[in-house]
Structure 1
């Protein structure tokens, strides 16, 4: 591979520095030039009027007749659980096959 000349190296360094400065300047111009959006003010909460005193000044109102008692909940129906799985029985260990005969001489 041929080594670049000294003048080419200097020119390349200047180009890289100039390109970096141009990119930084462009980035700053874009960031500073963009207007920051101002969120709109939320609307004021609606006013609510509450009256805590009654006109009659007596006890609070109650129903004319009390509510009937609710019916009792039905008893749960017992369900039989499925039988627990049993572990498989271990098979007796098999004997290893005999080794192959030695090769003939």
Structure 2
């Protein structure tokens, strides 16, 4: 029986690349469902990096990548525009509805949100 050897040094890189491609598919699906999309990276510490997405229709969502590098690769594969900050014109594109306002009010008032 032939013995195969797996180079353990490339395994994490391959996992990160697969994760980036999965996230890119999700980003692309969001963009297709909302008339296009733009994004922003939000660092969330040891958990990773959040990719905040805003659709052309104002709807928003987010995905969490295990690292900034995986998030960057995912967005690059998806081909969306990324903003340096979440303020001004970019933030104005977000449409918040009753659900978001109720959730934010619940958080502010000590509720479950």
Q: TM-score, normalised by structure 2?
A: 0.28
Higher RCO, Cα 8 Å, sep 6+ = 2
Higher helix share: 2
Higher strand share: 2
Give the structure with higher Rg (CA): 1
Q: TM-score, normalised by structure 1?
A: 0.30
